[in-house]
Structure 1
Amino acid sequence: MKVRFHLPDFARMFKFNVVFLTMLENSPELFREGVEIASIYGVFPPSLWNGGRVVHGMCQKDFVKGVTNYFNKKGIPLRFTFTNPMIEKKHLSDDFCNMVMHIADNGMNECIVMSPILEDYIRKTYPNYKLTSSTCKRITEPEALYSEVCKDYHIVVLDYDLNNKFDILEKIPDKSKCEILVNACCNPQCANRSLHYQTIGLEQIAYANHVRKYPNVPFDSAKFAASHPEAKAIFECNCEHRSLFDVKGLSNHITPDDIWNKYVPMGFNQFKIEGRTFDMFNLMEHYLYYMVKPECIDKARLIFLRNLSLNGAIIVPDQAI
């Protein structure tokens, strides 16, 4: 049995994920049956192509090389969240994103895509990358989903509003090709989700352009928000700051027992844990909840915290980049 998890943030949470992978390697007896790390997803900021969550920060070329080499040597792909829906043709030549793509172009790493413009560019320019169809596409109509699964994608990430619609899930033609987001923090059936992704995309572009022109001047998020009054509800949304204990109450939440007792027997084996904007301690609780045996969580938490401290990972998150 393989239960494959896709984990958040190889850049901001680099040390955090290094410590977690070390614990998985050294103490496998603490973990549930079949746990494997299928990929670590995210971007090196300031990636203009990034979507799903706004990611600030600056990464140097040596950091990009070091992180890529570290995880790839462990057999773990990086999956770039290049899901910005607001990409235009002029953005395809972005120097930073193309630099990252060149560095990681070794046949192991992957991209998550949403924009047809960017997807076509990556397919033609970087054919070695496996492509994942993003949950940001919001494909909830069954026949459209089944069609998407049959397309030339390595993985299709399901819209999490479908998480517990077993009549639809049962009819998916290739379940092993599908990835299920188990701990969605957004409100189920949110009417603003697509607008939110668009607004995030515009802010990411604005941020990337700003730091290119004014690297020593802080980006004014409030000013950006003020210039987009139509998205006022988006900027006031606090869903992404929900804790593990908050998201457990959402209707699209999937428990660890659900994974092993329902979804894996159905043929699903790819599961995404979201958390690119979570603080370190919230993300730690999600990792323990989903991947560690219930009776071992307290022991694993102590080991994890001790090793985080010893490795200097309990710091202000932005310092990790």
Structure 2
Amino acid sequence: MKQIIYYHLPGLFEFYDFYKVFLPLFREHKEYFYDWCEIGSIYGAPGVCLWGGGRVGFGDESPQNVASLMREYNVSARLTFSNSLLRNEHLSDKFCNKLCALFEKNGNTENGIIIHSDLLLEYIKDRYPGFFFVSSTTKVITEFDNFIEELKRDDFRFVVPDFRLNKELQQLESLPDKMKQKTEFLCNECCWYGCYDRKKCYENVSRKNLGENCDDHICVSPYASKGYRFSDAMKNPGFIGTDDICNIYAPKGFSHYKIEGRSLGSAIILEFLLYYMTKPEYQLKVREEIYLDSTLDLF
């Protein structure tokens, strides 16, 4: 496949130790990985981050260490600032502003902001103009006409629609090339396809990041008790696998794919990267390089 596919990977702060091992492996052993894929970015936010959204409580690595690692390997960092409930008084948060100052100009690679709030968007555009912006999937854009309107906005370099638009292939194919290159698909979502409460779930996370005293969101999925399982995500009607990317989406002109998983463990993140990026004959080799120990006991 001549077209380059860009994967946007989870855990900028959450999986620092993992990427500290994986990135040099990816750079030094390109023969292990498909030659048609690259790392487009790594995204995430510190566990305590007022502007954060999507997930809460994960990611305790030093921002300086994270910035240094991304700069060393020339990987684009995306700060997940997708809180949907921000007010004017939240814009002056010192920690979040320091993060912006640190990552705005961090080496030669452009860094981005995954964003929900237009209030925050205008604030960052004014004070930290070096960033580009990604419209967050937390907006839960499920209507195709709304998706097109979001794609039309010059503010965004990429737009991540709700995963339930992934298989609207006839409408997706009709998009002009410029809009196709702004589309970033969420590939491996495990959320119930029939979920009617997804926006409330994200709003609950936003409230928690703001320090509000609120109950946990109760997932309405009939499969919630199982937690995330990649095998179940593969059965999701919105799932986009490697065969789909190579044979359906890439030929239609789509290049950008987001892998979720900031709240999972590094072992399952490795499985994602093995599945999406690693040649089958080298998957065991990559496992061995990352964590396999001949004396390792799982139980």
TM (norm. structure 1) is 0.83
Letter in 1 for 2:196: A
Given candidates 127, 130, 140, the residue that maps to 2:129 is 127
Pick closer, same or farther for the CA change 1:235–1:161 going to 2, 3 Å: closer
Is the contact made by 2:8 and 2:258 (CA closer than 8 Å) also made in structure 1? yes
Distance 2:246 2:30 in 1: 17
Relative to total residues, which structure has the larger helix share, 1 or 2? 1
Superimposed CA distance per residue, residues 9-32 of structure 1 (whole angstroms, 9 cap, x where no aligned partner): 121200101211122112211212
Amino acid across the alignment from 1:29: E
Structure 1 residues 203 and 3, CA gap change in structure 2 (3 angstroms): same
Q: 3-state SS of the aligned residue for 1:190?
A: coil
Query: Which residue, out of 222, 242, 246, partners 2:228?
Result: 242
- Written as runs of structure 1 = structure 2, the 5 A alignment for 1:36-185 is 36-56=38-58, 58=60, 63-106=62-105, 108-152=110-154, 153-173=156-176, 174-185=179-190
In structure 1, C-alpha distance between the alignment counterparts of 2:220 and 2:208, rounded to whole Å: 12
Q: Is the 8 A contact 1:46 1:96 kept in 2?
A: no
- 1:257 and 2:243 are equivalent in the alignment: yes
Measured against aligned partners, the alpha-carbon deviations of 1:132-164 in whole angstroms (never above 9, x if no partner) come to: 111111122222211211211111112110111
Instruction: Quote how far apart the aligned CAs of 1:82 are.
Output: 0.4
User: Does the residue aligned with 1:93 lie in a helix, a strand or coil?
Assistant: coil
Identical aligned pairs, as a percentage? 33
Structure 1: which 5+ residue stretches go unaligned?
208-223, 310-321
Q: Paired residue for 2:215, among 182, 203, 228?
A: 228
From the superposition, tell whether residues 85 and 236 of structure 1 become closer, same or farther in structure 2 (CA, over 3 Å).
farther
When normalised by structure 2's length, the TM-score is 0.89
Deviation at 1:300, TM superposition (A): 2.2
The letter of the residue matching 2:255 is: N
Q: For each residue in 1:157-177, what CA deviation from the matched residue of structure 2 results, as whole angstroms up to 9, or x when unmatched?
A: 121101111022112232111
CA offsets 1:112-141 (integer angstroms, 9 cap, x no match): 111111111111121111011111111222
**Matches of 2:222 and 2:50 in 1, distance apart?**
23
Question: Aligned letter for 2:138?
Answer: C
Q: Secondary structure at the match of 1:10?
A: coil
Q: Tell me which residue corresponds to 1:193.
A: 198
| Deviation larger for 118-127 or 190-199 | 118-127
1:206-239 Cα shifts (integer Å, max 9, x gaps): 18xxxxxxxxxxxxxxxx5xx438x444799848
What CA distance in whole angstroms lies between the structure 2 residues aligned with 1:299 and 1:250?
A: 29
What is the SS of the residue equivalent to 1:132? Answer: strand
State whether residues 43 and 50 of structure 1, in contact with CA within 8 Å, keep that contact through their aligned partners in structure 2: yes
SS at match of 2:9: strand
Residues of 2 paired with 1:196 and 1:36: CA distance?
31
- SS of the residue aligned with 1:104? helix
For CA contacts below 8 A with separation 6 or more, give which structure has more relative contact order: 1
Tell me, which stretches of 5 or more residues in structure 2 are unaligned? 294-299
Measure how far apart 1:276 and its partner are: 0.1
Residue 24 of structure 1 aligns with which residue? 26
How far did 1:304 drift? 2.2
Aligned counterparts of 1:240 and 1:127: Cα–Cα separation in 2: 43
How far apart, in 1, do the equivalents of 2:8 and 2:112 lie?
12
Q: Distance in 2 between matches of 1:113 and 1:2?
A: 25
Change (3 A) 1:129 1:156: same
- Are 1:299 and 2:298 counterparts? no
Q: Deviation per CA, 1:249-299, whole angstroms, max 9, x where unpaired?
A: 111111111111111111111111111011121111111011112233223
SS class of match (1:228): coil
- Residue 296 of structure 2 is matched in structure 1 by none
CA RMSD of aligned residues (A): 2.2
The count of corresponding residues between Structure 1 and Structure 2 is: 285
The match for 1:314 is none
